Amino acid sequence: MTVKIREETSDDANAVHAIHAAAFGDDLVPRLVTQLRQRPATFAPRGYVATVDGEAAGHVMLTASWLDAPKKLVDVLVLSPLGVLPQHQRRGIGTLLVARAIEEADRAGAPLLFLEGDPAYYRERGFHEATPLGFRKPSLRIPDAAFQVVKLSTYEPWMTGTLVYAEPFWALDCVGLREED
């Protein structure tokens, strides 16, 4: 099995849609990806595709959001979504995509990279619980341990405050967990 990570191209749209539909079991995340791509932002949306023997098997996206810090709004990035086709999960592809996302967020000059996710998974990949580091989650529906961050090379200590998600996360209700009926 040969895995390669490369920048997403416009030719990957159908494969990326299929990856997230299969990984998440519905079309909500593929719709989120489409809306995030269409949104103008300081940091343009960036996607990375993992291929296995030349076929798309995973995808990660970096999207612009803001940190409402005491001094000013700070442009930051959010790692969302991350998806791997079910038949390729648990083979290290997600780990490679997360590593590439962190590297590219740093290269882009973002000071912080946030996400909502499983702390057991992301802690091993460089993320830390954000609240104890001075950050406030954008919704009370996000479990404390799931709200995570990586400080990047342009981070400065005054950069604390509340994460403000881009509008598509709210429009599609992709923030935190909803109570079950």
Domain CATH number, residue 50: 3.40.630.30
Q: What is the dihedral of CA 83, 86, 92, 93, to 10 degrees?
A: -40
Would 178 be classed as within a structural domain? no
Residue 116 lies in a domain: yes
With respect to residue 177, please indicate whether it lies within any of the assigned structural domains: no
Residue 51 lies in a domain: yes
For every one of its 181 residues, what pLDDT tens digit does the chain have, with 9 covering 90 and above? Answer: 789 999 999 899 889 888 888 888 887 777 887 777 776 667 778 899 999 988 999 999 999 999 999 999 999 999 989 999 998 988 899 999 999 999 999 999 999 999 999 999 999 999 999 999 999 999 999 999 999 999 999 999 999 999 998 888 777 777 877 777 6
Give residue 70's pLDDT.
94
pTM beyond 0.85:
yes
Q: How many CA atoms lie within 13 A of 121 on its CB side?
A: 17
Residue 99, domain member (yes or no): yes
Which residue in 13, 19, 4 sits closest to 37, CA to CA?
Answer: 13
Residue 91 domain boundaries = 3-171
A 10 A CB-CB count for 56 gives: 20
**Domain-located, residue 157:** yes
Specify whether the CB–CB gap between 110 and 43 falls below 8 A: yes
CA pseudo-torsion sign 96, 102, 106, 110 = positive
At residue 180, the pLDDT reads 73
pLDDT at 171: 76
The total of structural domains in the chain comes to: 1
- Residue 63: name the closest of 115, 28, 103 by CA: 115
Q: What is the pLDDT of residue 24?
A: 84
- From CA 86, how far away is CA 102, in angstroms rounded? 23
User: Is 32 inside any structural domain?
Assistant: yes
Q: What is the pLDDT of residue 93?
A: 95
